Chains A and B, each alone.
Chain A
Amino acid sequence: MPDTTPAKKALLEVDDVTIKFGGLTAMDSVSFQIREGEILGLIGPNGAGKTTCFNVMTGVYQATSGEVRLDGVSLAGRRRHKITQLGLARTFQNIRLFKSMTVLENVMVGADAHSKVGFFDALFRLPRHRRTEEEALAKAKGLLDLVGIKARHDELAANLSYGEQRRLEIARAMATGPKLLCLDEPAAGFNPAEKVQLMQLIKKVRDQGYTVLLIEHDMKLVMGVTDRIVVLEFGKKIAEGTPAEIRDNPAVIAAYLGVDEEDAS
């Protein structure tokens, strides 16, 4: 099991991060690490600060204190597109695709993240444009194939079904060539069968060498797919460990009792 091999180095370190919105502390001295090659689950009840954690990592919000490091490099104060270029890519809990672009174009925007092609390369069709364009196209098609929506590549993103849009978000994020792929509730709104399929896809993605940070609400699902789990509640980390450890953790059970009721209603 990856969780028992401390030799694996930390790819991402969230180091004592606090962020406040006015009087609300959305993250309160949160620290955890993600190791290369693992799937880390980030769970917690609604409003626990999971999405906020993504937003701090990807430069959408600035941490009030503490910092996030990727491969030992601090991400504090860096521009968002630079953070993506450094190797951090994400999907959105509320789907945010480029709706009036085609499916293929959406993924190619991601693939352009490291492109050096500029205005003059394009205007004069310099070899660099051709080469980069071909590479991006091949990469985008490969990823669409991986997530299973290749047949829809010429469709407008807005015309995809909900499930297809979620998959497109994953393909677009992967196209940026990330070291760490952050998925924000990628299975939200799915039925159980679709959820299982998605978890299989996430395992497949990890097997291709990606490290994955997964926010997911459904405990059972998270248990099945993650190597380790970090639990947030009210902006604080209340537990961290293997799925087995988390399952038996009394604090986690207490935090999730409310959620069970919510699910039942």
Chain B
Amino acid sequence: MSAMSTTLSGIGRRWDGVVDRYNALPKPARLGLVILFAAFVYLLPLLRPPILTTNNIDFGGVMFSVAAFALVAVGLNIVIGYAGLLDLGYVGFYAVGAYTTGVLTTYHWHWPFFLALPLAIAVTMVTGVILGAPTLRVRGDYLAIVTLGFGEIIRITVKNVEWVGASAGIKDISHPNTIGAAPNPPFDRGGMFDVPRLQWDGIIPSLDRDHPTAVLAFGAVDAIPYYWVILTALILVLVGDRLVKSSRVGRAWEATREDEDAAELMGVPTFKYKLMAFALGAAIGGLSGAFYASGQGGYISPDSFPLLLSMLFVAAVIVGGSGNRWGAIVGGALVAYLPERFREFADYRLLFFGLALSVLAIWRPEGLLPPRRSRRAKAVEAEIEALEEGALEGSTHA
């Protein structure tokens, strides 16, 4: 039992070690490492490392959903982790982003994807403000209940409104325009150039020229270009998240989460900052949904946005470690990746998931990678406990 908890908290300590070592490096070395790491992540679906690579299902597609879930988790982390607002209907924003994109690029208009994207984000953000403005004034659990309802209302609404395809959904959603040479079906996928991928014979890699990826060709065959685009969005969002969090905005969020009354009495307009966190989270959810809609599959329907998805999103943030953006990414990635990697056990997926959550809840309730501060607070608690025990022993000896 304690072995489990040591293993789990070992993750946190090892991560601290990594961060410390990284921070101790000179700036050029840090930049080099970041570029190297980013390159590795971008190339992952081409490198197809053994064990990691899913065999029964397209690895590029899996990596796309990993990145999409990570993006969603980063957005939800702002709402739950930073501002402390329990949003149980995040899938609603995901759906609003997806449907706005579907309607704009395909169903009613034929906007190019990259023009529809900003509007999808804006529409989702406005939805967030409309939902948040009345509910965020009320304290307590109302928000959880209202957002839970919101997720369902969005799903039921799109199911019944012909204008957005009702229960049939929207099919054949236009892909983003291919960058480079235009595709020339059925065989020429277009794009700027082709890159081969690796294949592995045990631990021996070799080039696999039979399955090239056409760079930035957005078609129905290859998910990897979509992965690159959403990964780029994730990186941009991460940079923005970091800049905003390490400012008075981030402090205002945290103060509000810690003690809303005290924050107000210290001059924090808490409502404004809660609404800001909520709207930003919504916008990022919408962004993710837009990518999902015009992704490789190009199909959305009310069934694409079940309540369960909201629960998975929240689980991703909590599993990763609420309040830490890297934790959110890890949580999102795991929640998307593990079921695909272990498809053989597909029938037991929910069982495993429930077990894993219970294990985590018992031995590491703060998540895999909680913010450094909660780890530090835990360490101090342990220290104090040890001291007290020592003091007690001392007094019994005396």
Contact = CB atoms under 8 A, between A and B. Distances in A.
Contacts of A99: 258
Question: Most chain-A Cβ atoms within 10 A of its Cβ — which of B248, B258, B269?
Answer: B248
B17 to A, nearest CB: 19
Interface in A98-136: 98-102, 105, 108-110, 112-115, 117-119, 121-125, 129, 132-133, 136
Interface in B259-283: 259, 261-270, 276
Contacts of B248: 108, 112, 115, 117, 122, 132-133, 136
A interface, how many residues as a size bin? Answer: 35 or more
A62 interface: no
B261 A98 contact: no
B39 interface: no
Interface stretch (B90-98, B141-149, B286-294, B369-377): B369-377
Interface string B352-395: 00000000000000000000011011001000000000000000
A122 B255 contact: no
Majority SS of interface residues in chain B?
Answer: helix
Nearest to B239: A123
A109 B268 contact: yes
A10 to B, nearest CB: 23
Contacts of A114: 267
Contact of B262 (A96, A117, A124): A96
A98 B255 contact: yes
Contacts of B240: 123
Interface residues of B, number: 29
B255 A101 contact: yes
Contacts of A136: 248
A172 interface: yes
A95 to B, nearest CB: 10
Given A98-B262, A109-B255, A123-B243, A81 B270 contact: yes
Given A96-B259, A114-B267, A109 B251 contact: yes
Nearest to B384: A159
Interface stretch (A37-45, A84-92, A189-197): A84-92
Contacts of A109: 251-252, 255, 263, 266, 268
A97 B261 CA distance: 11
A119 B249 contact: yes
Contacts of B264: 79-81, 84
A80 B267 CA distance: 7
B254 interface: yes
Interface of A: 58, 60, 79-81, 84-85, 89-90, 92, 96-102, 105, 108-110, 112-115, 117-119, 121-125, 129, 132-133, 136, 156, 158-159, 172-173, 176
Interface of B: 240, 243-244, 247-252, 254-255, 258-259, 261-270, 276, 373-374, 376-377, 380
Given A81-B265, A81-B268, A113-B268, 13 more contacts: A81-B270, A84-B265, A96-B262, A101-B251, A101-B254, A109-B251, A109-B255, A112-B267, A113-B266, A117-B249, A129-B247, A136-B248, A156-B376
10 contacts: A80-B265, A81-B264, A81-B266, A84-B265, A98-B254, A113-B267, A113-B268, A117-B249, A122-B249, A132-B248
